[in-house]
Amino acid sequence: MTNIQTEPNTLSPDDHLRRWRLILGGNNADGTGVALAGRDLGMDKALGSLYERPEERKGGLEGSAPGVARWLGDIREYFPSSVVRVMQQDAVKRLNLTRLLLEPELLSAVEPDVHLVATLLSLGHVIPQKTKATARLVVQRVVEQLMKRLQEPMRQAVSGALDRATRTRRPRHAEIDWQRTIRANLKNYQPDYRTVIPEVLFGFGRKRQLTQRDIVLCIDQSGSMASSVVYSSIFGAVMASLPAVKTHLVVFDTSVVDLTDELQDPVDVLFGVQLGGGTDINRALAYCQGLVRRPQESIVVLISDLYEGGIREEFIKRMAVLLASGVQVIVLLALSDEGRPCYDHEIANALGTIGIPAFACTPDLFPDLMAAAIRRDSISQWAAAREITTTHTETRR
């Protein structure tokens, strides 16, 4: 494989044996006696899932779409893009992905879910032409299901937060902000009646400004973030339909693509994503920084595992500048239901020290998170109230 070849005179004898162990694959083929660990072990498992004979394979990719999605993310982490393309094509031929991708009838019969969508998007460039229409229908079905589940909570959360952000002194009874009203009228407290006479009422009004918040979703499109890309695209499409919110959707690897114009159709957004490649968060953040016109009314949500291939120090500085300018900055290590994600702890902790906690968020909680951001609540306190561990709390521990 390309990435395990180096100039012979740069390798120690142990390195030579380790690389031969990766090439031979262990088991009966292994005569090196080398034990693998850490990243080498992960690389070996990714290779073994594909290239070991069935009787040698301890775990294959055939059983589930989540397994395929994880494997696709693993090979992008361990191998360069040229090798990834070869391995994906080999997977289509060697595993039962062949039938899945070559037979539209079988693909249409599969129970679609987020993992399957992530797999189809990851393998988009090797899907045969005759199957692409069926693949699009499968993605459409998943998007429709997720829209039904997530659209209304997102609308209600954002609209409610915007309503609370628009104050009025002539509220209807249901719109009265009692805490602010009582605090403003304490001077009118009547001891005999043990009550406050309100001269002025404060409330949460319904008046709309043209655009009350600018929201930038900046999404890492590396293979490991595939599920997060699916959910983010759907939430972006929902927020783009709200007139009081201006939403930008930016995806990145080592390049940056602005998909804002595609937000009317989340399926088009997903097919505009190119899962894989390296990661240059600093470059993506520089682009998003250029989209910020009203810092005090802007929210930047970075969704990434933070494995930065660009200039790490510049990335941290850029985040600090955004925060200091008044932008509400949120870092999500994942937007998925898949549990605790793998991420760069060093960068996450560095962000925590400048006041930007990073944490994983499930799709069901994301609307409430955005509402908290719109109200400018403390995101750390929001997470703590929901027993979500952030890098800020991890650092303190």
Question: Both tokens of residue 374?
Answer: 């719109």
Q: Is the pLDDT of residue 26 over 70?
A: no
Instruction: Give the lowest-confidence range in 123-132, 214-223, 351-360, 371-380.
Output: 123-132
Q: Is the pLDDT of residue 57 over 80?
A: no
Tell me the C-alpha distance between 365 and 363, whole Å.
Answer: 5
Count other Cβ atoms within 10 Å, centred on residue 224.
23
SS3 271: helix
Tell me the C-alpha distance between 102 and 128, whole Å.
Answer: 7
SS3 176: strand
| Residue located via tokens 């009582």 | 182
The residue-averaged pLDDT of 147-167 equals 81
Instruction: Give the lowest-confidence range in 24-28, 151-155, 349-353.
Output: 24-28
Per-residue model confidence as pLDDT tens digits over 320-335: 999 999 999 999 999 9
Per-residue model confidence as pLDDT tens digits over 72-83: 777 877 888 778
Supply the pLDDT for residue 159.
82
Q: What DSSP letter does each residue of 242-255 carry, written as one string?
A: -TTEEEEEEEESSS
Please provide the size of the chain in residues. Answer: 397
Supply the pLDDT for residue 3.
43
The residue-averaged pLDDT of 291-297 equals 94
Instruction: Give the lowest-confidence range in 96-110, 189-203, 313-327, 382-396.
Output: 96-110
Mean pLDDT over the full length of the chain: 80
Q: Is the pLDDT of residue 231 over 60?
A: yes
Contact 223, 275 (CB under 8 A): yes
Tell me the C-alpha distance between 348 and 249, whole Å.
Answer: 22
Instruction: Please indicate whether residue 9 or residue 100 has the higher confidence score (pLDDT).
Output: 100
Tell me the C-alpha distance between 62 and 76, whole Å.
Answer: 19
Tell me the C-alpha distance between 91 and 89, whole Å.
Answer: 5
Q: Is the pLDDT of residue 352 over 80?
A: yes
Instruction: Give the lowest-confidence range in 148-157, 308-317, 327-336, 387-396.
Output: 387-396
Triad 218, 222, 226: Cα angle to 5°: 85
The residue-averaged pLDDT of 138-156 equals 91
40, burial (CB in 10 Å: exposed 0-12, middle 13-18, buried 19+): middle
Which residue(s) pair with 250 in the sheet? Answer: 218, 258
Supply the pLDDT for residue 163.
66
The residue-averaged pLDDT of 272-279 equals 78
Count other Cβ atoms within 10 Å, centred on residue 76.
26
Q: Is the pLDDT of residue 283 over 50?
A: yes
Give the pLDDT band (50/70/90) at residue 132.
confident
The residue-averaged pLDDT of 351-380 equals 93
| Residue located via tokens 């979703």 | 217
The residue-averaged pLDDT of 365-382 equals 92
Structural domains in the chain?
Answer: 2-95 (no CATH), 151-160+210-396 (3.40.50.410), 167-204 (no CATH)
Supply the pLDDT for residue 174.
65
- pTM, two decimal places: 0.69
Supply the pLDDT for residue 88.
73
In eight-state DSSP terms, residue 342 is P
Supply the pLDDT for residue 192.
84
Supply the pLDDT for residue 6.
40
Across the chain, the runs of DSSP E, i.e. the strands, are 167-168, 189-190, 195-196, 203-204, 213-220, 245-252, 256-258, 298-303, 328-335, 358-361
Supply the pLDDT for residue 237.
93
Give the pLDDT band (50/70/90) at residue 58.
very low
Instruction: Please indicate whether residue 31 or residue 59 has the higher confidence score (pLDDT).
Output: 31
Tell me the C-alpha distance between 281 and 266, whole Å.
Answer: 23
* Beta-strand relationship, 167-168 and 298-303: unpaired
Supply the pLDDT for residue 39.
78
Supply the pLDDT for residue 60.
47
State the first-to-last Cα distance of the chain, in angstroms, to the nearest integer.
42
* Contacts of residue 238, Cβ cutoff 8 Å, sequence gap at least 6: 147, 150, 151, 154, 155
How far, in Å, are 63, 156, 199, 230 from residue 334 at the CA level? 24, 23, 48, 11
Q: Is the pLDDT of residue 262 over 50?
A: yes
